[in-house]
Amino acid sequence: MILLAGDIGATKTSLAIVSSEAGPRAVLAEATFPSIAYPSLEAVAREFLSHVEWQVERACFGVAGPVVGGRASITNLPWLIDEGNLRDALRLSAVHLLNDLESIANGVPALEPADLHTLNAGQPAPGGAIAVIAPGTGLGEGFLTWDGARYRPHPSEGGHTDFAPTNPLQIELLRYLQGRFEHVSYERVCSGLGLPNIYAYLKDSGYAAEPDWLADQLGATDDPTPVIVSAALDRERSCDLCISTLDVFVSILGAEAANLALKVLATGGVYLGGGIPPRILPFLRKGLFLESFRRKGRLSDLPVHMPVHVILNPKVALLGAARYGLEW
């Protein structure tokens, strides 16, 4: 069976051809497209399929948004995706849509040691639930449970739950953001969209000064997040404001990763996905992340034993869609 697999996001759409004979990691053809340049997923898929030699039978797509009744709208992208419409338009026998975190979660059991960086080795429980939290443009959350034969992925929109500060600085951050947004979710402070909010609070509160050279760089871009991250990681030209922004970010990420882990009892481990964690590994290794992750009051002993891994493989969502599509 030949499958079209896809990882569909607001910024880019990655498509691949895989087969049941070779398995989900053996990609026969692959391409990435700028999502905003196309009016629909159908248009992207048509272009991709016009350049491949294989006859696709069905498709599975991980999409950045909730999937309800076989339909999905992409967060931050004006696409409406319907399984039935795609199936008919692409002349396939079946199409299945997964939430993007469900797709990432489905890829976790197929990851190899080289795909991971371990922050906490822990003591994984056989068959224990697995939590997945992925700060990218937004904040995705999902989890897997063992059904006796294999791990099954489950979607979640936990990134949109209420942000709960854990120290005085974060309390003031929440108050600051409540003056700017109707609802302050974890995504507002723990994602690519959230990093500039932390930065703005620290700057406006006088916590640290903004260097002139950084102000010039930020003024010349529509996306401040890469600039803030790069400045925080720059060893030659230190920026206290950006370093403090990343410190607050990883503390919040650690707390919310543990919140998710406690809710699903993730004794099988916690996996950090998305584009941000691999980029900020030096900050994740500093200790603030694990300090926040383990600070859970009367249940602090539980997170200590949970393995925590950063997913380094940038194609895990595509792998997960391929794996699900070949097995469903």
Q: Which domains does the chain have, with CATH numbers?
A: 2-100+315-327 (3.30.420.40), 112-312 (3.40.367.20)
**CA–CA separation, 134 and 155 (whole Å):** 12
Q: Could you give the dihedral angle defined by the CA atoms of residues 259, 264, 269 and 270, in that order, rounded to the nearest 10 degrees?
A: -40
Per-position b or e across 213-230, b if 16+ CB within 10 A of its CB: ebeebbeeeeebbebbbe
pLDDT at 11: 82
Q: Report the distance separating Cα 244 and Cα 224, nearest Å.
A: 15
pLDDT band at 64 (very low <50, low <70, confident <90, very high): confident
**Kind and range of the H or E element at 227?**
helix 224-233
pLDDT digits (tens, 9 = 90+) for 216-242: 999 999 999 999 999 999 999 989 999
The whole-number average pLDDT for the span 55-66 is 93
| Residues contacting 20, CB < 8 A, separation 6+ | 1, 3, 326
Distance CA(105)–CA(112), nearest Å, equals: 14
Which one, of 272, 269, 253, 279, lies nearest residue 310 by Cα?
A: 272
Quick: pLDDT tens for 5-36: 999 988 899 999 999 999 999 999 999 999 99
Percent of the chain with pLDDT over 90: 91
Residue 272 and residue 19: Cα distance in Å, rounded?
Answer: 28
Residues 276 and 58: their CA atoms lie apart, in Å, by 32
Residue 2, pLDDT score: 97
* pLDDT at 303 (0 to 100): 96
Burial zone of 283 (CB within 10 Å; 0-12 exposed, 13-18 middle, 19+ buried): buried
CA distance 98 to 221: 33
Asked whether residue 324 carries a pLDDT value surpassing 90, the answer given is yes
Chain centroid, CA 242 distance in Å: 22
Residues 168-202 pLDDT 10s? 999 999 999 999 999 999 999 999 999 999 999 99
d(CA 212, CA 200): 15
CA–CA gap between residue 74 and residue 93 (Å, rounded): 24
pLDDT bracket for residue 328 (50, 70, 90): confident
Q: What is the mean pLDDT of the chain?
A: 95
- Identify which of 257, 120, 134 has the alpha carbon closest to the alpha carbon of residue 192: 134
Is the distance from CB of 65 to CB of 75 less than 8 angstroms? Answer: yes
Q: Assess whether pLDDT exceeds 80 at residue 76.
A: no
